[in-house]
Homo-oligomer: A and B are copies of this chain.
Amino acid sequence: MDLNQLSLQYKNELLDRVIPFWLNQSQDKEYGGYFTCLDREGNVFDTDKFIWLQGRQVWMFSMLYNKVEKNPLWLECARQGGEFLRKYGHDGNLNWYFSLTREGKPLIEPYNIFSYTFATMAFGQLSLATGNSEYADLARKTFDIVLSKTANPKGKWNKAYPGTRNLKNFALPMILCNLSIEIEHLLDKAFLQETIDTCIHEVMDNFYRPDLGIVVENITDGNELSDTFEGRLLNPGHAIEAMWFIMDLGQRLGKPDLIAKAAKIAVDMVEYGWDPVYGGIYYYLDRKGHPPQQLEWDQKLWWVHIETLISMAKGYQLTGSEDCLAWFKKVHAYTWEHFRDNEFPEWYGYQNRRCEVILPLKGGKWKGCFHVPRGLYQVWKTLEKRDQ
Protein backbone atom coordinates (compact mmCIF):
# COMPACT_ATOMS: atom_id res chain seq x y z
CA MET A 1 0.00 0.00 0.00
CA ASP A 2 1.62 3.22 -1.22
CA LEU A 3 0.71 5.87 1.35
CA ASN A 4 1.66 8.76 -0.91
CA GLN A 5 -0.61 7.41 -3.59
CA LEU A 6 -3.37 6.97 -1.01
CA SER A 7 -2.87 10.51 0.24
CA LEU A 8 -3.44 11.72 -3.31
CA GLN A 9 -6.58 9.60 -3.58
CA TYR A 10 -8.05 11.34 -0.51
CA LYS A 11 -6.99 14.77 -1.82
CA ASN A 12 -8.52 14.21 -5.24
CA GLU A 13 -11.76 12.85 -3.82
CA LEU A 14 -12.01 15.96 -1.65
CA LEU A 15 -11.18 18.57 -4.23
CA ASP A 16 -12.63 16.99 -7.38
CA ARG A 17 -15.81 15.35 -6.14
CA VAL A 18 -16.90 16.31 -2.64
CA ILE A 19 -16.21 20.03 -2.32
CA PRO A 20 -17.66 20.85 -5.78
CA PHE A 21 -20.81 18.92 -4.78
CA TRP A 22 -21.46 21.18 -1.78
CA LEU A 23 -20.30 24.33 -3.54
CA ASN A 24 -22.67 23.76 -6.46
CA GLN A 25 -25.63 21.95 -4.96
CA SER A 26 -26.10 23.29 -1.46
CA GLN A 27 -25.91 27.07 -1.55
CA ASP A 28 -29.22 28.87 -1.28
CA LYS A 29 -28.65 31.81 -3.63
CA GLU A 30 -31.97 33.37 -2.73
CA TYR A 31 -32.06 33.37 1.07
CA GLY A 32 -28.46 32.52 1.95
CA GLY A 33 -27.20 29.62 3.98
CA TYR A 34 -27.17 26.04 2.76
CA PHE A 35 -29.60 23.37 1.78
CA THR A 36 -28.37 20.14 3.31
CA CYS A 37 -31.21 17.76 2.44
CA LEU A 38 -29.84 16.57 -0.88
CA ASP A 39 -30.73 13.34 -2.61
CA ARG A 40 -28.29 10.96 -4.26
CA GLU A 41 -27.80 13.23 -7.28
CA GLY A 42 -27.73 16.42 -5.25
CA ASN A 43 -31.32 17.62 -5.70
CA VAL A 44 -32.86 19.45 -2.75
CA PHE A 45 -35.64 17.42 -1.14
CA ASP A 46 -36.24 19.59 1.94
CA THR A 47 -35.36 23.21 2.62
CA ASP A 48 -35.17 23.38 6.42
CA LYS A 49 -31.85 24.65 7.73
CA PHE A 50 -30.19 22.94 10.68
CA ILE A 51 -27.77 25.04 12.72
CA TRP A 52 -25.33 22.16 13.30
CA LEU A 53 -24.92 21.77 9.55
CA GLN A 54 -24.97 25.48 8.69
CA GLY A 55 -22.15 26.04 11.17
CA ARG A 56 -20.18 23.02 10.04
CA GLN A 57 -20.29 24.07 6.38
CA VAL A 58 -19.16 27.63 7.22
CA TRP A 59 -16.29 26.03 9.15
CA MET A 60 -15.42 23.61 6.32
CA PHE A 61 -15.14 26.20 3.56
CA SER A 62 -13.33 28.67 5.86
CA MET A 63 -10.85 25.98 6.90
CA LEU A 64 -10.14 24.96 3.31
CA TYR A 65 -9.63 28.61 2.40
CA ASN A 66 -7.30 29.09 5.36
CA LYS A 67 -5.30 25.90 4.95
CA VAL A 68 -5.52 24.63 1.37
CA GLU A 69 -6.01 27.41 -1.16
CA LYS A 70 -7.17 31.03 -1.26
CA ASN A 71 -10.08 30.16 -3.52
CA PRO A 72 -12.50 33.12 -3.59
CA LEU A 73 -15.46 30.81 -4.30
CA TRP A 74 -14.75 28.95 -1.07
CA LEU A 75 -14.49 32.19 0.87
CA GLU A 76 -17.75 33.49 -0.56
CA CYS A 77 -19.50 30.21 0.22
CA ALA A 78 -18.30 30.42 3.83
CA ARG A 79 -19.05 34.13 4.15
CA GLN A 80 -22.63 33.99 2.87
CA GLY A 81 -23.41 31.05 5.17
CA GLY A 82 -21.81 32.91 8.07
CA GLU A 83 -23.97 35.95 7.37
CA PHE A 84 -27.12 33.81 7.31
CA LEU A 85 -26.08 32.24 10.60
CA ARG A 86 -25.19 35.60 12.17
CA LYS A 87 -28.53 37.13 11.18
CA TYR A 88 -30.95 34.27 11.79
CA GLY A 89 -29.16 31.52 13.73
CA HIS A 90 -29.69 32.90 17.24
CA ASP A 91 -32.21 34.81 19.33
CA GLY A 92 -30.21 38.03 19.64
CA ASN A 93 -28.44 36.81 22.78
CA LEU A 94 -26.38 34.10 21.08
CA ASN A 95 -28.75 31.36 22.04
CA TRP A 96 -28.45 29.26 18.89
CA TYR A 97 -31.60 27.67 17.55
CA PHE A 98 -31.57 24.05 16.44
CA SER A 99 -33.23 24.71 13.08
CA LEU A 100 -34.72 27.41 10.86
CA THR A 101 -37.02 27.57 7.88
CA ARG A 102 -35.43 28.24 4.50
CA GLU A 103 -35.99 31.99 5.02
CA GLY A 104 -34.41 31.93 8.48
CA LYS A 105 -37.40 31.88 10.80
CA PRO A 106 -36.76 29.89 14.00
CA LEU A 107 -38.28 26.41 13.98
CA ILE A 108 -36.74 24.54 16.91
CA GLU A 109 -35.66 26.25 20.11
CA PRO A 110 -32.02 26.51 21.33
CA TYR A 111 -32.13 23.27 23.32
CA ASN A 112 -29.06 21.67 21.75
CA ILE A 113 -25.59 22.67 22.99
CA PHE A 114 -23.97 21.48 19.76
CA SER A 115 -25.72 24.22 17.80
CA TYR A 116 -23.57 26.51 19.95
CA THR A 117 -20.33 24.55 19.56
CA PHE A 118 -20.61 24.39 15.77
CA ALA A 119 -21.46 28.10 15.61
CA THR A 120 -18.26 28.72 17.62
CA MET A 121 -16.22 26.57 15.20
CA ALA A 122 -17.79 28.35 12.23
CA PHE A 123 -17.07 31.89 13.38
CA GLY A 124 -13.62 30.96 14.69
CA GLN A 125 -12.45 29.82 11.24
CA LEU A 126 -14.42 32.50 9.41
CA SER A 127 -12.77 35.20 11.51
CA LEU A 128 -9.39 33.84 10.41
CA ALA A 129 -10.48 33.74 6.77
CA THR A 130 -11.93 37.25 6.71
CA GLY A 131 -10.09 39.11 9.47
CA ASN A 132 -13.51 40.33 10.58
CA SER A 133 -13.46 40.99 14.32
CA GLU A 134 -17.24 40.73 14.61
CA TYR A 135 -16.97 37.04 13.71
CA ALA A 136 -14.18 36.60 16.28
CA ASP A 137 -16.45 38.16 18.91
CA LEU A 138 -19.32 35.83 18.00
CA ALA A 139 -17.03 32.81 18.39
CA ARG A 140 -15.54 33.93 21.70
CA LYS A 141 -18.85 34.92 23.27
CA THR A 142 -20.59 31.75 22.12
CA PHE A 143 -17.72 29.66 23.50
CA ASP A 144 -18.18 31.37 26.89
CA ILE A 145 -21.87 30.48 26.80
CA VAL A 146 -21.03 26.85 25.98
CA LEU A 147 -18.74 26.66 29.00
CA SER A 148 -21.40 28.27 31.22
CA LYS A 149 -23.86 25.54 30.16
CA THR A 150 -21.72 22.45 30.78
CA ALA A 151 -23.57 21.51 34.00
CA ASN A 152 -26.98 21.46 32.28
CA PRO A 153 -26.52 21.74 28.51
CA LYS A 154 -30.22 21.36 27.66
CA GLY A 155 -31.32 24.03 30.12
CA LYS A 156 -35.10 24.18 30.54
CA TRP A 157 -35.58 21.48 27.91
CA ASN A 158 -33.82 18.94 30.14
CA LYS A 159 -36.31 16.15 30.88
CA ALA A 160 -34.29 14.44 33.62
CA TYR A 161 -35.87 14.88 37.06
CA PRO A 162 -33.26 16.72 39.13
CA GLY A 163 -31.31 14.68 41.64
CA THR A 164 -32.49 11.14 40.98
CA ARG A 165 -29.82 10.03 38.55
CA ASN A 166 -27.34 12.70 37.56
CA LEU A 167 -25.46 11.51 34.50
CA LYS A 168 -22.99 13.38 32.35
CA ASN A 169 -22.51 12.72 28.67
CA PHE A 170 -19.29 12.15 26.76
CA ALA A 171 -20.13 14.28 23.73
CA LEU A 172 -19.56 17.73 25.23
CA PRO A 173 -16.08 17.21 26.75
CA MET A 174 -15.15 15.34 23.58
CA ILE A 175 -16.19 18.25 21.33
CA LEU A 176 -14.47 20.74 23.65
CA CYS A 177 -11.17 18.89 23.13
CA ASN A 178 -11.40 19.79 19.46
CA LEU A 179 -13.04 23.19 19.83
CA SER A 180 -10.52 24.59 22.27
CA ILE A 181 -7.67 24.30 19.77
CA GLU A 182 -9.94 25.30 16.90
CA ILE A 183 -10.38 28.74 18.47
CA GLU A 184 -7.01 28.89 20.22
CA HIS A 185 -6.27 32.21 18.47
CA LEU A 186 -9.21 33.80 20.29
CA LEU A 187 -8.49 32.59 23.83
CA ASP A 188 -6.35 33.76 26.68
CA LYS A 189 -3.39 31.35 27.10
CA ALA A 190 -4.00 30.43 30.75
CA PHE A 191 -7.73 29.95 30.12
CA LEU A 192 -6.98 27.78 27.07
CA GLN A 193 -4.60 25.61 29.09
CA GLU A 194 -7.13 25.17 31.88
CA THR A 195 -9.92 24.27 29.44
CA ILE A 196 -7.72 21.74 27.64
CA ASP A 197 -6.59 20.14 30.91
CA THR A 198 -10.19 19.75 32.05
CA CYS A 199 -11.32 18.15 28.78
CA ILE A 200 -8.41 15.72 28.64
CA HIS A 201 -9.05 14.73 32.25
CA GLU A 202 -12.76 14.13 31.60
CA VAL A 203 -12.18 12.06 28.48
CA MET A 204 -9.10 10.05 29.48
CA ASP A 205 -9.59 9.63 33.25
CA ASN A 206 -13.38 9.57 33.63
CA PHE A 207 -15.15 8.40 30.45
CA TYR A 208 -12.33 5.99 29.56
CA ARG A 209 -12.55 3.03 31.91
CA PRO A 210 -9.20 1.23 32.05
CA ASP A 211 -10.72 -1.76 33.90
CA LEU A 212 -13.10 -2.37 30.98
CA GLY A 213 -10.75 -1.08 28.25
CA ILE A 214 -13.52 1.04 26.74
CA VAL A 215 -14.90 4.58 26.60
CA VAL A 216 -18.51 4.83 27.82
CA GLU A 217 -21.08 7.42 26.71
CA ASN A 218 -22.49 8.34 30.13
CA ILE A 219 -21.19 8.26 33.70
CA THR A 220 -22.54 9.58 36.99
CA ASP A 221 -21.60 13.07 38.16
CA GLY A 222 -19.36 11.27 40.67
CA ASN A 223 -17.53 9.61 37.74
CA GLU A 224 -18.92 6.16 38.40
CA LEU A 225 -20.31 3.64 35.93
CA SER A 226 -24.11 3.44 35.83
CA ASP A 227 -25.92 0.13 35.19
CA THR A 228 -28.73 1.80 33.21
CA PHE A 229 -29.58 2.08 29.51
CA GLU A 230 -27.60 5.34 29.29
CA GLY A 231 -24.77 4.11 31.48
CA ARG A 232 -24.31 0.88 29.54
CA LEU A 233 -24.32 2.66 26.17
CA LEU A 234 -21.23 2.60 23.94
CA ASN A 235 -20.83 4.62 20.76
CA PRO A 236 -17.57 3.32 19.29
CA GLY A 237 -17.46 6.02 16.59
CA HIS A 238 -17.66 8.75 19.19
CA ALA A 239 -14.86 7.25 21.24
CA ILE A 240 -12.64 6.71 18.20
CA GLU A 241 -13.24 10.27 16.92
CA ALA A 242 -12.38 11.68 20.35
CA MET A 243 -9.04 9.88 20.23
CA TRP A 244 -7.79 11.89 17.25
CA PHE A 245 -8.86 15.06 19.03
CA ILE A 246 -6.69 13.85 21.94
CA MET A 247 -3.80 13.00 19.59
CA ASP A 248 -4.01 16.56 18.19
CA LEU A 249 -3.88 17.90 21.75
CA GLY A 250 -0.96 15.57 22.49
CA GLN A 251 0.93 17.09 19.55
CA ARG A 252 -0.02 20.60 20.60
CA LEU A 253 1.20 19.95 24.16
CA GLY A 254 4.19 17.78 23.21
CA LYS A 255 2.93 14.74 25.14
CA PRO A 256 3.88 11.52 23.33
CA ASP A 257 2.50 9.37 26.17
CA LEU A 258 -0.92 10.93 25.73
CA ILE A 259 -0.75 10.29 21.97
CA ALA A 260 0.26 6.66 22.47
CA LYS A 261 -2.52 6.11 24.99
CA ALA A 262 -5.12 7.65 22.66
CA ALA A 263 -3.92 5.56 19.69
CA LYS A 264 -4.17 2.41 21.80
CA ILE A 265 -7.68 3.23 23.04
CA ALA A 266 -8.77 3.99 19.47
CA VAL A 267 -7.56 0.57 18.29
CA ASP A 268 -9.28 -1.12 21.24
CA MET A 269 -12.58 0.60 20.40
CA VAL A 270 -12.36 -0.33 16.70
CA GLU A 271 -11.78 -3.95 17.69
CA TYR A 272 -14.65 -3.79 20.19
CA GLY A 273 -17.04 -2.21 17.68
CA TRP A 274 -16.17 -4.24 14.59
CA ASP A 275 -18.89 -6.52 13.23
CA PRO A 276 -17.17 -9.87 12.65
CA VAL A 277 -19.93 -11.12 10.36
CA TYR A 278 -20.60 -8.32 7.87
CA GLY A 279 -17.72 -5.96 8.62
CA GLY A 280 -17.99 -2.32 9.60
CA ILE A 281 -18.36 -0.72 13.02
CA TYR A 282 -21.65 -0.84 14.90
CA TYR A 283 -23.36 2.46 15.72
CA TYR A 284 -24.26 1.59 19.34
CA LEU A 285 -23.54 -1.25 21.75
CA ASP A 286 -24.49 -2.09 25.34
CA ARG A 287 -21.37 -2.80 27.40
CA LYS A 288 -23.10 -5.66 29.18
CA GLY A 289 -24.44 -7.14 25.98
CA HIS A 290 -28.07 -6.25 26.73
CA PRO A 291 -30.37 -4.91 24.01
CA PRO A 292 -29.69 -1.19 23.57
CA GLN A 293 -32.58 1.29 23.34
CA GLN A 294 -31.52 2.41 19.88
CA LEU A 295 -33.27 0.46 17.11
CA GLU A 296 -30.51 1.59 14.72
CA TRP A 297 -27.76 0.08 16.88
CA ASP A 298 -26.44 -2.36 14.26
CA GLN A 299 -26.38 0.11 11.37
CA LYS A 300 -23.16 1.27 9.74
CA LEU A 301 -22.84 5.05 9.52
CA TRP A 302 -20.48 7.01 7.31
CA TRP A 303 -19.06 9.27 10.02
CA VAL A 304 -18.08 6.38 12.27
CA HIS A 305 -15.91 4.90 9.53
CA ILE A 306 -14.46 8.19 8.33
CA GLU A 307 -13.51 9.27 11.85
CA THR A 308 -11.89 5.86 12.32
CA LEU A 309 -9.77 6.42 9.22
CA ILE A 310 -8.53 9.70 10.70
CA SER A 311 -7.68 8.15 14.07
CA MET A 312 -5.92 5.15 12.55
CA ALA A 313 -3.96 7.36 10.12
CA LYS A 314 -2.88 9.71 12.90
CA GLY A 315 -2.12 6.84 15.27
CA TYR A 316 0.15 5.30 12.64
CA GLN A 317 1.81 8.56 11.65
CA LEU A 318 2.44 9.70 15.22
CA THR A 319 3.34 6.42 16.93
CA GLY A 320 4.20 3.97 14.15
CA SER A 321 1.59 1.55 15.55
CA GLU A 322 1.25 -1.44 13.24
CA ASP A 323 -2.22 -2.07 14.68
CA CYS A 324 -3.27 1.39 13.55
CA LEU A 325 -1.88 0.74 10.06
CA ALA A 326 -3.60 -2.64 9.79
CA TRP A 327 -6.95 -1.20 10.87
CA PHE A 328 -6.47 1.79 8.58
CA LYS A 329 -6.11 -0.57 5.62
CA LYS A 330 -9.09 -2.68 6.62
CA VAL A 331 -11.42 0.26 7.31
CA HIS A 332 -10.19 2.10 4.20
CA ALA A 333 -11.15 -0.85 2.00
CA TYR A 334 -14.54 -1.21 3.69
CA THR A 335 -15.36 2.49 3.66
CA TRP A 336 -14.46 3.20 0.06
CA GLU A 337 -16.31 0.09 -1.08
CA HIS A 338 -19.52 0.74 0.84
CA PHE A 339 -19.87 4.46 1.43
CA ARG A 340 -18.44 6.00 -1.74
CA ASP A 341 -21.00 6.43 -4.51
CA ASN A 342 -19.14 5.63 -7.72
CA GLU A 343 -21.81 7.15 -9.94
CA PHE A 344 -22.61 10.49 -8.28
CA PRO A 345 -20.42 12.67 -6.04
CA GLU A 346 -20.40 12.69 -2.20
CA TRP A 347 -20.83 9.57 -0.13
CA TYR A 348 -23.71 7.57 1.25
CA GLY A 349 -24.38 7.97 4.95
CA TYR A 350 -26.63 5.24 6.20
CA GLN A 351 -26.25 1.50 5.67
CA ASN A 352 -27.85 -1.43 7.41
CA ARG A 353 -25.81 -4.12 9.12
CA ARG A 354 -25.17 -5.81 5.77
CA CYS A 355 -23.81 -2.53 4.38
CA GLU A 356 -26.79 -2.00 2.08
CA VAL A 357 -27.87 1.62 1.56
CA ILE A 358 -31.00 2.36 3.62
CA LEU A 359 -31.26 6.10 2.96
CA PRO A 360 -30.02 7.07 -0.50
CA LEU A 361 -29.26 10.68 0.48
CA LYS A 362 -26.05 12.66 0.35
CA GLY A 363 -27.20 15.10 2.99
CA GLY A 364 -30.05 15.39 5.47
CA LYS A 365 -30.85 16.62 8.93
CA TRP A 366 -27.58 15.30 10.40
CA LYS A 367 -25.33 14.62 7.39
CA GLY A 368 -23.89 17.74 5.81
CA CYS A 369 -20.66 19.17 4.48
CA PHE A 370 -18.54 17.93 7.36
CA HIS A 371 -17.39 14.38 8.14
CA VAL A 372 -16.65 13.30 4.57
CA PRO A 373 -14.66 16.40 3.53
CA ARG A 374 -13.00 16.83 6.94
CA GLY A 375 -11.99 13.18 6.93
CA LEU A 376 -10.64 13.32 3.38
CA TYR A 377 -8.66 16.43 4.30
CA GLN A 378 -7.30 14.96 7.52
CA VAL A 379 -6.25 11.66 5.97
CA TRP A 380 -4.72 13.42 2.93
CA LYS A 381 -2.63 15.66 5.19
CA THR A 382 -1.79 12.94 7.70
CA LEU A 383 -0.57 10.49 5.07
CA GLU A 384 1.49 13.28 3.50
CA LYS A 385 3.11 13.53 6.95
CA ARG A 386 2.88 17.26 6.88
CA ASP A 387 1.86 19.39 9.84
CA GLN A 388 -1.86 19.87 10.18
Contacts and interface: CB of A to CB of B under 8 A. Distances in A.
A97 B229 contact: no
Interface in A289-303: 290-293, 295-299
Count of identical protomers in the assembly: 2
A209 interface: no
Interface residues of A, number: 42
Interface in A128-181: 156-157, 159-161, 164-165
A101 interface: yes
B164 A359 contact: no
A39 interface: yes
A364 interface: yes
Contacts of A228: 46, 48
A116 interface: no
Contact of A293 (B108, B352, B365): B365
Interface in A269-319: 288, 290-293, 295-299
Contacts of A338: none
Contact of A229 (B46, B295, B350): B46
Contact of A299 (B37, B156, B295): B295
Contacts of A295: 295-296, 299, 350, 358-359
Contacts of A350: 295
Contacts of A111: 159
B159 A229 contact: no
Contacts of A159: 98, 108-109, 111, 157
Contacts of A97: 161
